Structure 1
Amino acid sequence: MRYESILFELKQGIARLTLNRPDKLNSFTAAMHLELRDALERIRADKSVRVLVLTGAGRGFCAGQDLSDRAVAPGVDAVDLGDSIDKYYGPLVLALRALPFPVICAVNGVAAGAGANLPLACDIVIAAKSASFVEAFCKLGLIPDTGGTYFLPRLLGTARAMGLAMLGHKLSAEQAAQWGLIWKCVDDAELESEVDLLARHFAAAPTKGMARTKRAIYASAANTLEQQIELERDFMRELGNSSDYREGVTAFIEKRAPQFQGA
């Protein structure tokens, strides 16, 4: 597929996806969704990939749905927004969560609507100080989608989630980091170098261990303590037989840097 709404790059185990409609603040269209789906399928199928970086081009990360991409006005037949969730936003969130390696989201500017919740489907979120998060759905008579009603209360608690969802106030990147919505907020000039450093770290990390860590932490929300301990047992048994574990122990004993292969 030829990409017109996104940029895709793969180099030295690091995949990079950039939402690339800067004149529209990288807002979503059906075409962009199809391109993202194709790119994520390619990334998941490529065994050389050990980390994904997701970001936006220009001055914004993503302004959510491009409302001009789906006609809706008084007197016009209603748009089935549930169909949009089924076809596009739901599969996008689930695809990001299912990737068997770390996913870093670099929020380089405003993140609104679906664009505010998409980063929360990623594993590590780093935002520039000038960035902000806006749950703009309430201004259109909608609910926070793209996993928003799932992520927000789990990350922030009910009170803060409800305030953001029902008031639509802008949340600065610094406040988002203080509240625990994202991992880190950095100066705008440092965002690219900070993300590159983290991407290189994960590209050299024990990838299978990272994948099982993701699954275990995300599974804990629905598991009892007993179920979670059983999951830990199963994953530790599996990882204990990996070549990366043997390399890690050997490197520790030999007092050298490990050379993980992601296996």
Structure 2
Amino acid sequence: MSDFVQIVREDGIAVITLNHPHTRNAIADESCIQAIVTALSEISADPSLRAAILTGAGPAFCAGGSLQSLGQIAADEPVANEQRYRSGIQRIPRAFQQIDIPVIAAVNGPAIGAGLDLACMCDIRVASTRATFAESFVKLGLVAGDGGAWLLARTLPLARAYEMALTGNAIDAQQAMDWGLVSRLAEPENLMETALTLARAIAANPGHAVRMTKRLVDASLLNTLDSVLSLSACMQALAHTTEAHRQALRLMTARVGTKS
């Protein structure tokens, strides 16, 4: 794997760190894209994991694409550029869509352009009070080629998504909290502990139930109620057969018996 991504696993939680602080963790080339896709594939395939955290090394979460790479793309023909996006950065949101465990974005600093979209690909976002967020493509005469319009419209109220996408203006951490882009704020020195506390609360639950619940929530965004009810019935039927459920039921019954 490229040195762009580092993974640390402990107690059912994987911490994924974008590790190019010298570029503000920009997704600069194919090796960066591949590193993210590979990391997501690896943690999804690890049955010992129940949650993951994505963060950035240094003062930035992710600065999006590099200006140098954008300049190179601008010199190519439209057909080649379209294929570059399809086979390149668009693999990242597809990889997030396939992952079975919840991912928490610990946004430690600026999340700009594709960096904001990367945070929106995660299931939950917590932010440092120093974080800033911008869907800045329009300022460069571009659109979000990585699916940012789809992501923003599912993360924010529609009017807020339009405002961010159409102005390209940055918002600070408190505004992101007020708008619902992030669910928790923390002082910079407490950000990772805040994210870890949330990840531990998730990881304390049976792994199969965590993965199934994530799948159901994901499915609810894309399917009808009838389809989700059918999927829920299938998953619940399987969940009832697990030893983790039986053990939890025994513990709950014992607690109720003790109180009565």
TM-score, normalised to structure 1, is 0.88
- Correspondence for 1:261: none
Does 2:169 align with 1:196? no
How big is each residue's C-alpha offset from its partner over 1:12-60, in whole Å with a ceiling of 9 and x where there is no partner? 3221211111121100122211222222232233222222111000000
How many aligned positions are there? 254
Query: Which stretches of structure 1, 4 residues or longer, exceed 6 Å deviation after superposition?
Result: none
Quick one: distance in 2 between partners of 1:115 and 1:246?
Answer: 42
Quick one: distance in 2 between partners of 1:91 and 1:140?
Answer: 23
- Correspondence for 1:233: 233
Does 2:135 align with 1:135? yes
SS across alignment from 1:254: helix
- Correspondence for 1:105: 105
> Residue 92 of structure 1 aligns to which amino acid in structure 2?
I
In the alignment, is the contact (CA less than 8 A) between 2:5 and 2:36 conserved in 1?
yes
- Correspondence for 1:20: 19
1:137–1:203 Cα change, 3 Å: same
How big is each residue's C-alpha offset from its partner over 1:103-122, in whole Å with a ceiling of 9 and x where there is no partner? 11100000001100111111
Deviation at 1:147, TM superposition (A): 2.6
Deviation at 1:243, TM superposition (A): 1.9
In the alignment, is the contact (CA less than 8 A) between 1:51 and 1:199 conserved in 2?
yes
- The gaps in structure 1 that reach 5 residues or longer are 257-263
In the alignment, is the contact (CA less than 8 A) between 1:100 and 1:208 conserved in 2?
no
- The gaps in structure 2 that reach 5 residues or longer are none
Q: Matched residues, percent identical?
A: 33
Quick one: distance in 1 between partners of 2:50 and 2:254?
Answer: 25
How big is each residue's C-alpha offset from its partner over 1:119-164, in whole Å with a ceiling of 9 and x where there is no partner? 1111111111110110110011111233311121223233221111
- Correspondence for 2:96: 96
Larger helix share, 1 or 2: 2
1:116–1:81 Cα change, 3 Å: farther
> Residue 14 of structure 1 aligns to which amino acid in structure 2?
I
In the alignment, is the contact (CA less than 8 A) between 1:72 and 1:78 conserved in 2?
no
Quick one: distance in 2 between partners of 1:73 and 1:120?
Answer: 24
> Residue 179 of structure 2 aligns to which amino acid in structure 1?
W
CA RMSD of aligned residues (A): 2.1
- Bigger drift between 196-205 and 114-123 goes to 196-205
Equivalence map 1:96-245=2 (5 Å): 96-245=96-245
